[in-house]
A and B are shown apart, each in its own frame.
Chain A
Amino acid sequence: MSRGIKALIRIPAKVVFVGGLFVLSACGHLGPQKNLYQALGGAKGVDAIVYELIVRIADDERVVDRFHNVDISRFKAGLETYICSVANGPCDYTGDSMQVVHAGHQYTDTEFNTIVQLLIEAMEAEGVPTVTQNRLLARLAPDYEAIVYQ
Chain B
Amino acid sequence: MTVFRWTPSLLGVLLCVLSGSVLAQSEGSRLLATGAAASLEGASGGGIVPMAVLSGYGTREEQGGTLFGSLVQTDDYALSVIGGSWSWHNRLEVSLARQRLSHQPLSERLGVAPSSIEQRIFGAKVRLVGDLIYTPWPQVSLGVQHKQNEDFFVPAAAGARDDSGTDVYLSATKLVLAGLAGRNLLLNATARSTKANQLGLVGFGGDLNNEAEWMAEVSAGVFLNRHWLVGAEYRQKPDNLSFILEDDWRTAFVGWFPNKQVSLVAAWVDLGEVATFPDQTGWYLSLEGSF
Report if A and B associate in a common complex: yes
Q: Hey, which bits of chain A sit against chain B, CB under 8 A?
A: 29, 62, 108-110, 112-114, 116-117, 120, 130-132, 134-135, 137-138, 141-142, 144-145
Whether B182 pairs with A113 at a CB distance below 8 angstroms is no
| Interface size range on B against A | 20 to 34
Contact of A144 with B182 at beta-carbon distance under 8 Å, contacts A108-B59, A113-B29 already known:
no
Whether A144 pairs with B178 at a CB distance below 8 angstroms is no
The interface stretch among B127-135, B193-201, B235-243 is B127-135
Q: Tell me the smallest distance from the CB of B172 to a CB of chain A, in Å.
A: 18
Contacts of B60 in A (CB 8 A): 108-110
Beyond known contacts A108-B59, A110-B59: 4 more, CB 8 A cutoff: A108-B60, A109-B61, A131-B181, A142-B134
Whether B29 pairs with A110 at a CB distance below 8 angstroms is yes
Q: Tell me the smallest distance from the CB of A124 to a CB of chain B, in Å.
A: 9
Whether B225 pairs with A130 at a CB distance below 8 angstroms is yes
Q: Hey, which bits of chain B sit against chain A, CB under 8 A?
A: 29-31, 59-62, 90, 131, 133-136, 177-178, 181-184, 224-226
Interface secondary structure of A, over-half rule: helix
Contacts of B177 in A (CB 8 A): 134-135, 137-138, 141
Q: How far is the CA of A144 from the CA of B135 in the complex (A)?
A: 8
Contacts of A135 in B (CB 8 A): 177-178, 182
Among A109, A112, A117, A132, find the residue whose CB has the most chain B CB atoms closer than 10 A: A109
Q: Which of B90, B136, B183 meets A142, CB within 8 Å?
A: B136
Q: How far is the CA of A59 from the CA of B49 in the complex (A)?
A: 39
Contacts of A117 in B (CB 8 A): 29, 31
Q: Tell me the smallest distance from the CB of B43 to a CB of chain A, in Å.
A: 22
Q: How far is the CA of A137 from the CA of B182 in the complex (A)?
A: 11
Whether B178 pairs with A131 at a CB distance below 8 angstroms is yes
Interface secondary structure of B, over-half rule: loop
Q: How far is the CA of A116 from the CA of B31 in the complex (A)?
A: 8
Contacts of B136 in A (CB 8 A): 142
Q: How far is the CA of A137 from the CA of B177 in the complex (A)?
A: 7
Q: How far is the CA of A109 from the CA of B135 in the complex (A)?
A: 12
Which residue of the partner chain B has the closest CB to A112?
A: B134
Contacts of B29 in A (CB 8 A): 62, 109-110, 113-114, 117
Contacts of B184 in A (CB 8 A): 134
Contacts of A62 in B (CB 8 A): 29
Whether A108 pairs with B182 at a CB distance below 8 angstroms is no
Contact of A130 with B90 at beta-carbon distance under 8 Å, contacts A108-B60, A109-B59, A142-B134 already known:
no
Whether A113 pairs with B59 at a CB distance below 8 angstroms is yes
Q: Tell me the smallest distance from the CB of A141 to a CB of chain B, in Å.
A: 5
Q: Tell me the smallest distance from the CB of B223 to a CB of chain A, in Å.
A: 8
**Would you mind naming 8 contact pairs between A and B with Cβ atoms under 8 Å apart?**
A110-B61, A112-B134, A113-B30, A116-B31, A130-B225, A134-B178, A138-B177, A144-B135
Contacts of B131 in A (CB 8 A): 144
Q: How far is the CA of A113 from the CA of B181 in the complex (A)?
A: 24
Q: Tell me the smallest distance from the CB of B19 to a CB of chain A, in Å.
A: 25
Contact of A109 with B178 at beta-carbon distance under 8 Å, contacts A141-B133, A145-B135 already known:
no
Among B30, B182, B184, B226, find the residue whose CB has the most chain A CB atoms closer than 10 A: B182
Which residue of the partner chain B has the closest CB to A120?
A: B226
Contacts of B135 in A (CB 8 A): 144-145
Q: Tell me the smallest distance from the CB of A134 to a CB of chain B, in Å.
A: 4
Contacts of A114 in B (CB 8 A): 29
Contacts of A142 in B (CB 8 A): 134, 136
In the A-B complex, the 7 residue pairs with the closest CB atoms: A131-B182, A144-B134, A138-B177, A109-B60, A134-B178, A109-B59, A110-B59
Contacts of A134 in B (CB 8 A): 177-178, 182-184
Q: Tell me the smallest distance from the CB of A37 to a CB of chain B, in Å.
A: 15
Whether B59 pairs with A132 at a CB distance below 8 angstroms is no
Q: How far is the CA of A124 from the CA of B98 in the complex (A)?
A: 40
Contacts of B134 in A (CB 8 A): 112, 141-142, 144-145
Which residue of the partner chain A has the closest CB to B260?
A: A117
Q: How far is the CA of A130 from the CA of B183 in the complex (A)?
A: 7
Contacts of A116 in B (CB 8 A): 31
